[in-house]
């Protein structure tokens, strides 16, 4: 995998009792070891999350329930991904400005991160992002 955003599917164990998916370090198809998980829920209709980029942190964003959009910007091109399947997620390399919006009622957004929480890894100013982004 080169360092571009991409959808990654995780294992699906079909079962009449209910399906199961999992992810673990070592064989998960992600280009990073998982250091942290956080999740976003109870998002009011019309709200937006994100609006930042990471300097070094890599993330894998999943919808565990419901649906939302992840909008990525590399300084030149815009990409929008709709996440609504609990067996896949979006790998986001460092250096991408991202916003999350269009959350459906009851949706749950889970994020796996390559780093522990570190505010210094965040670029929260769009002007700063535009001044230092290096993507073609």
Among 22, 39, 41, 117, binds ligand TYD (CB under 6 A): 117
Contact between 49 and ligand TYD per CB under 6 A: yes
Q: Which structure tokens are listed for 85?
A: 């399947």
Q: Are 101 and 69 in contact (CB under 8 A)?
A: yes
Give the HSE-up count for residue 126: Cα atoms under 13 Å, Cβ half-sphere: 8
Q: Please tell me which residue in 52, 54, 78, 135 is annotated as part of the active site.
A: 52
Nearer to ligand TYD, 6 or 40 (CB): 40
Nearer to ligand TYD, 38 or 126 (CB): 38
- Residue in the shown chain whose Cβ atom is closest to ligand TYD: 49
Whether 52 sits among the annotated catalytic residues: the reply is yes
Cα–Cα distance measured from residue 88 to residue 121, given in angstroms and rounded to the nearest whole number? 26
Select from 24-32, 48-56, 76-84, 85-93 the region that touches ligand TYD (CB under 6 A).
48-56
Minimum distance, C-beta of residue 15 to ligand TYD, in the bound complex (Å): 32
Q: Which residues bind ligand TYD (CB under 6 A)?
A: 36, 38, 40, 49-50, 52, 117
């Amino acid at each position: 995998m080169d360092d571009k955003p991409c959808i990654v599917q995780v294992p699906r164990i079909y079962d009449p009792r209910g399906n199961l998916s999992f992810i673990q370090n070592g064989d998960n198809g992600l280009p990073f070891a998982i250091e942290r998980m956080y999740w976003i829920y109870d998002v009011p209709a019309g709200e937006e999350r994100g609006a930042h980029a990471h300097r070094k942190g890599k993330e894998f964003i999943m919808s565990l329930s419901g649906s939302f959009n992840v909008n990525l910007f590399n300084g030149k091109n815009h990409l929008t991904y709709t996440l609504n399947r609990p067996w896949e997620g979006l790998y986001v390399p460092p250096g991408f400005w991202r916003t999350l919006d269009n959350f459906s009622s009851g949706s749950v957004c889970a994020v796996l991160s390559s780093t522990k929480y570190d505010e210094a890894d965040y670029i929260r100013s769009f002007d700063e992002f535009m001044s230092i982004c290096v993507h073609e």
